[in-house]
Structure 1
Amino acid sequence: MIKDVIADMNVRMDKSVESLRKDYQKVRTGRASTSLLDEVKVDYYGSLGPLTNVATLAVPEARTITIQPWEAKMIPVIEKAILNSNLGLTPSNDGKMIRLNLPPLTEERRKDIVKQLKREAEEAKVALRNIRREAMDGLKKLEKDKQISEDDLKRAEKEVQDFTNSHTAKVDEVLAHKEKEVMEV
């Protein structure tokens, strides 16, 4: 029973850390990444779908993303979708391919991005603490229902805290890595 509570908690904490990583992939760092376009949806014959369903994305240079549509008539549709996505990027095309040039980030913008990253990391830590609290409540309920002893409860609580500490360290590690990437000129 203790193992079930801890295993569930561990899975949920892993998902929280992974969610933070995915959110950080979408943050613009001055370096081109196709993951910036993950949320862009394109109207393809009446249904909205991801950009990757209608084009090939590539990063030929550090500050450029190229989009090669499979059909030339999709170029204006893709450009419109990018402009409507509020990414702050202006597409340019040569009739066959769309290019997105990422402007270099100013120092002030980098600092704003780092503040946003820290806010998101703190939200992830709050999520971890909520998961820990739920696990602790579950363990206390087991003890109250006489399914585990007080000693087992104390050991399990220590294990829960250790898992929480390790996941909090992972969040700090992910933040530090992304912060370094953003501040890199």
Structure 2
Amino acid sequence: MATIEELLTTNEEKMKKTISYLREDLAGLRAGRATPALLNKITVDYYGTPTPINQVANIGVPEPRMIVITPWEKTMIKAISKAIMTSDLGLNPNTDGSVIRLNLPQLTEERRKELVKTANKRTEEARVSIRNMRRDIIDGIKKAEKAKEITEDDSKDGQDKAQKLTDKMMKEIDKVIEAKEKEIMEV
């Protein structure tokens, strides 16, 4: 049976990974500024294998509202353009035969509110994941107490530590979503 400290340490790492994933996920939400992270989730068919765009092309941001994609192979231009058009980014790629340009239009107030809702939905999924991890810790502690491996006091102490860890991670998530909301709502 894992000790209370092992349970806490293992789950703390999982919680940190959840927050890290949330940060990456939210980076892919368009907030009015061009960033290569917008294309992180888009894959393109590269010789029969779904491959992230950044592994088949250079991605640059020459202007605040423009992304330039330079495929390593000219034959990839159509596939990359198609992948961008079918994505949920709502962008239309412009091609001149050797590079793809993505112009990011100014976000409307309505679109900004939609993006904030999407960000909050993804954030809530992360919160649920962390609460599930807290439940796993507490279940492990209760099983150890029931099996007489730890005392009632140790069980109570471990559950308090699990709650404190969860509260700390929830504050971190709040900081992440607060920063993203601010970024999206800036005009």
Matched with 1:119 is: 121
Matched with 1:181 is: 183
Matched with 2:30 is: 28
| Percentage of identical aligned residues | 48
Query: Mapping of 1:129-168 within 5 angstroms?
Result: 129-168=131-170
Change in 2 beyond 3 A, CA 1:48/1:121: closer
Query: Mapping of 1:6-25 within 5 angstroms?
Result: 6-25=8-27
Give, in angstroms, the shift of residue 82 of structure 1.
1.4
AA partner of residue 12 (structure 2):
N
Give, in angstroms, the shift of residue 114 of structure 1.
1.1
DSSP 3-state at the match of 2:32? coil
Give unmatched runs, 5+ long, in structure 2.
none
Give, in angstroms, the shift of residue 44 of structure 1.
2.4
AA partner of residue 97 (structure 1):
V
CA distance in 2, matches of 1:140, 1:39: 40
Matched with 1:106 is: 108
Query: Mapping of 1:23-102 within 5 angstroms?
Result: 23-102=25-104
DSSP 3-state at the match of 2:41? coil
Q: TM-score, normalization: structure 1?
A: 0.94
Give, in angstroms, the shift of residue 119 of structure 1.
2.0
What's the CA shift string for 1:3-58, capped at 9, x where partnerless? 11111221121122112111101111111111111122222233332212221001
Change in 2 beyond 3 A, CA 1:49/1:164: same
What's the CA shift string for 1:53-99, capped at 9, x where partnerless? 22100111111000011222322222122112232110112222110
Give, in angstroms, the shift of residue 158 of structure 1.
1.1
CA distance in 2, matches of 1:139, 1:73: 57
What's the CA shift string for 1:126-173, capped at 9, x where partnerless? 211111111101001111111111111111111111100000000100
Change in 2 beyond 3 A, CA 1:43/1:120: closer
Change in 2 beyond 3 A, CA 1:40/1:176: same
Whether 1:128 aligns to 2:130 is yes
Aligned-residue CA RMSD (Å): 1.3
DSSP 3-state at the match of 2:61? strand
What is the aligned length? 185
Give unmatched runs, 5+ long, in structure 1.
none
